[in-house]
Amino acid sequence: EEPQKKKFLVKFSGGNYTEFEPGRMRFHRRDFSLEILNTSRGDGRLYEYSVSKGQEEEVWQIQLEVFEPVADPSIRILHRELSNGSCSLALRCSSERGDEVSYSWEGRENGSRGICAGSGGSLNLSYSLRSAAFGCVCTARNPVSSRDAAFHSGQCGSERP
């Protein structure tokens, strides 16, 4: 059986410390924290923090997850139907980049909270063209970022959102 190997990032002993990757990581002596500079996906792994006191050793394990931030989302009209002065739309919100992205919809103007409320990347709308103009906002978010895109009701008759 192969032995387990550990790679040290910082060693602290007798009031002095040694950083083994000084260009990649920075040790903060005031609070014993370790900062990873220019984080990449490869940094997402299990880390271990240990303190030796005489015969005993205390060990903590920390799983670091690295997420790519969400890119600006875009809203596309998948289906449009104009009839008898009303508009029916199927909208799709998507972001080109980002890990574990979730989507939600809400209205932010002219009483559109109910008509625009939803979760997930799709939203179906149906409204009268005679009603006051309103806007729906799609929010794409993940654990590290959040970005918005807006759709305005006046775009029912146009080809591009």
119 in the same domain as 59: no
Q: Domain of 110: which CATH number?
A: 2.60.40.10
Question: Is 84 in the same domain as 136?
Answer: yes
- The encoded tokens of residue 20 equal 């083994």
- Asked if 138 and 103 count as a contact pair (C-beta separation under 8 A), the reply is yes
145: DSSP letter: E
> 33-76, pLDDT tens digit by residue?
888 998 888 889 888 888 887 888 888 899 999 999 999 999 99
Q: What are phi and psi of 84, to 5 degrees?
A: 50, 40
Contact present, 122 and 107 (Cβ < 8 Å) = no
Establish if 102 belongs to a structural domain: yes
Report the chain's mean pLDDT, rounded to a whole number: 87
* 115 shares a domain with 51: no
pLDDT of residue 23: 87
Please check whether residue 36 is in contact with residue 10, taking contact to mean a CB–CB distance below 8 angstroms: no
Domain enclosing residue 136, as ranges: 74-155
Find residue 102's DSSP bridge partners. 141
**Does 138 fall in a domain?**
yes
Q: How confident is the model at residue 161 (pLDDT cuts 50, 70, 90)?
A: very low
Are residue 86 and residue 28 in the same domain, yes or no? no
Tell me, yes or no, whether 29 lies in a domain.
Answer: yes
92 and 59 in one domain?
no
Domain count, the chain: 2
* Distance between CA atoms of residues 23 and 20, nearest Å: 9
